[in-house]
Amino acid sequence: IEGKYAESEILVGQYNPAQARTAIKDKMAPVAKGNLAAFRAGDTHILKLIDSVECVWKDAVEDEYFDDDSPRWYAVETNSAK
């Protein structure tokens, strides 16, 4: 996806969001890139997305929006917008 997203919300999956992107060294490293050290409420990010979490993750997904039919994107790269 490139450009602006018209909806007010977007559901994006992140691999191990508690871990800095540069600290990810396991098999998911190729699809969990970026310079983001930590997620903080109110911060703005630049994301490189693919159209489905299932493209890269086949195991159980922690999803608090299970009753929402919106598409789930996956961030293969997350950078701070600052």
| Digit-coded pLDDT (tens) for 24-40 | 999 999 999 999 999 99
Residue-level pLDDT at 77 = 97
Ranges of the chain whose pLDDT falls below 70: 1-2
| 73 within 8 A of 82, measured Cβ to Cβ | no
Could you tell me the two tokens for 27? 């098999």
Instruction: Please return the burial class of 1, using the count of CB atoms within 10 Å of its CB with bins 0-12, 13-18 and 19+.
Output: exposed
Alpha carbon of residue 65 to chain centroid: 15
| Sequential DSSP letters for 26-70 | STTGGGSEES-----TT--EEEEEES-GGGT--S----TTTT--S
Residue-level pLDDT at 19 = 96
Residue-level pLDDT at 2 = 67
Rounded CA gap, 70 and 82, in Å? 28
